[in-house]
Amino acid sequence: MLFWLLLSGSLATDVLITGAAVSALISLLFYPGLSFFTELRLTPQALVVGLQYYAYFFLELLRSNLKMARIVVSPSLPIQPAIVRVRTRLKSRMGRLMLANSITLTPGTMTVALHDEWLYVHCVRLDHDDIDAATREIVAGFEPYLEVMYG
């Protein structure tokens, strides 16, 4: 509904009614996979860890932005692009999707494919020759939080 209101740019009655009807229809048709709440464990621990996850994500977002800015302003443009195959311990589909999205939203990395427990991640700069170390660096921060939240 919010997306519809942003697109239309109007709060007229007919726009609100149309938006509400279409939003309700979409919600009914795509209910099982529409929300990141789909497989969320609704326990007190998961809710606390969820807040910790978002704090960690925003810290990583800031760190990655600073790293990318340093690379961009460097005259030598020190990039070492690579695609790393990352294995996740997460069992739920939504947990894996949240991990892939978290990696993609962090500047300098982008999940290009997700197949079962494997993620293929493009890195602008791969600082390790050891693929296992790179894997730990990419996944290790996000995964423990998502494991508690989604399994």
Q: Do 99 and 56 contact (CB within 8 A), yes or no?
A: no
Residue range 78-88, pLDDT digits in tens: 888 889 888 89
Q: What is the pLDDT of residue 25?
A: 87
Q: Can you give the pTM of this predicted structure?
A: 0.75
Q: Do 138 and 121 contact (CB within 8 A), yes or no?
A: yes
How many whole angstroms separate alpha carbon 111 and alpha carbon 88? 13
- Measured CA to CA in angstroms, residue 4 lies from 15, 17, 20, 132 at distances of 9, 11, 9, 44
Residue range 6-27, pLDDT digits in tens: 888 888 999 999 999 998 888 7
